[in-house]
Homo-oligomer: A and B are copies of this chain.
Amino acid sequence: MVSEFKAAGLSSTRVRIAILSAIRASRTPLSAEAVGEELTRSGCTIGRASLFRNLDLFRSAGLIERIETGNRGNQYLAKCSGNHHHHHILCEKCRSIEPVDICLSTAMLKTIEQSTDYRVTGHSLMLYGLCRKCRKRKQSRRTD
């Protein structure tokens, strides 16, 4: 990890190693808050400022991904292997997130460019849905 930081032009600090480890250790994406809690749990509480600063630095450096989940807080997760372009689906109920390995086709992008006369430079796609668990307990009482 030290060399990864080096490669990204970031010095390798205890705080950074802890943050990136926590994100990589998690199977699911974590909110900034969740990362902080994870660190506290492992005996390495860090300041808010450092947390947000590093999440942003890591993202700029391509070490992690940030999923913009709309209104309330973003989610951070380790870059998926291969690192190719993809999207995510978010469960409306439990907020769990899965990668979705599908994307707009180049044909579609071409059609868009032709019909709008814009040059397309990027896009963001977020899918919403219900995960299997939440579909099953759809009728039961909420616990929140």
Q: How far is the CA of A89 from the CA of B104 in the complex (A)?
A: 14
* Range class of the A interface residue count: 35 or more
Contact: A118 with B129, CB < 8 Å?
A: yes
Q: From residue A111, how far is it (CB to closest CB) to chain B in Å?
A: 6
A7 to chain B, nearest CB (A): 27
Let me know if A112 and B127 touch, CB within 8 A: yes
Interface window among A8-16, A22-30, A38-46, A130-138: A130-138
**Interchain nearest-CB distance for A126 vs B (Å):** 5
* A118 & B98 in contact (Cβ 8 Å cutoff): yes
Interface residue ranges of A100-144 to B (CB < 8 Å): 100-102, 104, 108, 111-113, 115-132, 135
Q: A70-B124, A122-B127 are in contact. List 15 more A-B contacts (CB 8 A).
A: A68-B70, A101-B115, A112-B127, A116-B129, A117-B131, A118-B129, A118-B131, A120-B127, A121-B129, A122-B128, A122-B129, A123-B126, A123-B128, A124-B125, A125-B126
